[in-house]
Structure 1
Amino acid sequence: MEQVFTLRCEECKSENYRHRKNKKTHPDKMEVKKYCPTCNKHTVHKERK
């Protein structure tokens, strides 16, 4: 049971990445440090449904 979701930058709130995960094995919201082209630096990106 895969779910597709969007990763949103915490600083500028732009939605940069789409990702998928298995909801049964990873029920928590995802939080990753990725590059944001809008901020032009690495920032924390959190899962948005």
Structure 2
Amino acid sequence: MAKKKNIRVRVTLECTNCTRNDVNKKKRGISRYSTQKNRHNTPSRLELKKFCPYCYKHTIHGEIKNKK
């Protein structure tokens, strides 16, 4: 029996505002969320507006590459 590929994959979302602005500042942290997406319906990278506790506002969180 062949192994079935999972359609839903786990992705990690990272705040795009924190990673851009903390170049010369002290690193406070990076807001990360984990979620799932359907590989067939959303083949491109996922971007959602989520709350960032380090920026204290809602910002765009983009999908990052997961290390396995």
| TM-score, scaled to structure 1 | 0.85
May I ask how many residue pairs the two structures share in their alignment?
49
Partner of 1:42: 58
Look at both structures and tell me which one has the larger radius of gyration over its CA atoms.
Answer: 2
Over the matched positions of the two proteins, sequence identity in percent amounts to 41
Q: Structure 1: which 5+ runs fail to align?
A: none
Q: Quick check: which one's strand share is greater?
A: 1
Q: Of 17, 24, 27, which residue of structure 1 is paired with 2:40?
A: 24
TM-score (norm 2): 0.64
Q: Structure 2 stretches of 5 or more lacking a match?
A: 1-6, 20-29
- Root-mean-square deviation over aligned CA pairs: 1.1
Structure with bigger helix share is 2
